[in-house]
Structure formats: C-alpha cells, structure tokens
Amino acid sequence: MEKKWIFLIILAIVVGGGYYLHSQGEIGKPTADVKSVKVNEITFNTAELTVRIIAHNPNPLGVTLNKVNYNVYFLQNGNPKFLGDGVRTKDIHVRADGDTTFTVPFEANNSDAIRALGEFARDEGEVRIKVNGSIFVDLKITNLEVPFSKIKPVSI
C-alpha cells in the first residue's frame, strides 16, 4: 500500500512538472555555435588554439552539458585540412533562458597539416578555421546531442 502512494506522489510530481514547463511555453532544444577561434601559438610541431563556444538554452530551467566533441580543420583553397579533434568532459552549466559561453583548448600535433597551415597563413595573412562538433545535454537517463559547425577567419 505504501509503495502505491509513493508511486502516485512521484507520478503527480512528474505530471505537474511537465504541465508547468508546457505552460511556460514550448520546450526548446538548446543550440550551440562557435563564437571565435584564437590562435595562441604555432610551432613546427604543434598549433595551439582556443575555441570559444556559445550554448543557448531557451528553456526556463538550466541544463548541464556533460560532453563536448569537436574536430578542427583549416580551409586551404576551400578544402578542409584536418588539424585534429578534442573532447571536453567537464560539466558545463548552461543558464536558463540565456547563453553561456565557454572555451575548449585545442592542440594539433599533425605536423604536415601544421606546416601547410603556417605556409598558407604566411601567404594569405588570414586562415579560415572550421570547427565541427556536438554538445551533449545531460537528461539524466540519456543525452541529447546538439551538433554545431562554423567557419571562422583567424589572423595569424
């Protein structure tokens, strides 16, 4: 009998919470975008970049990102040249009804691509960096993957 009451209370909380969220408006899917890419240092063996990502949460409750995956390319004559990839697994809290900006460091060790990047930057003065990735919203029982992709010009 006691288990039945506990189940009914939990059910009422879930239904009430869902109704509250629905009454506040449509529950929206968070989005992500690359705000900027900064080149920190380029040597013959490595390229260090900082990628600034902005996550937008249109919902009345904050969310937590539990993972960010990303691939970084530079565009040489319009063709993407792979520099490397990265993963951030430290939790990021995204505030309700707003934007949260965070950075992900990136270090490329692909010497052929770095050499081509340096030569291209020397000739052109500016490089276009492409970042593809996904943020993962923690929904407790599963994750919601939200992809993003952006090309940003970077001066070197």
- Is residue 29 predicted with pLDDT exceeding 70? yes
- Is residue 106 predicted with pLDDT exceeding 80? yes
Q: What is the DSSP secondary-structure string of 14-83?
A: HHHHHHHHHHT-PPPPPEEEEEEEEEEEE-SS-EEEEEEEEEEE-SSS-EEEEEEEEEEEEEETTEEEEE
pLDDT at 23: 57
For residue range 5-15, what is the model confidence (pLDDT) as tens digits?
777 778 778 76
Would you say the pTM of this structure is higher than 0.85?
no
Domains of the chain, with CATH numbers?
27-155 (2.60.40.10)
For residue range 37-60, what is the model confidence (pLDDT) as tens digits?
988 888 878 888 899 999 999 999
CB neighbour list of residue 50: distance below 8 Å, 6 or more residues apart: 37, 38, 40, 103, 104, 105, 106
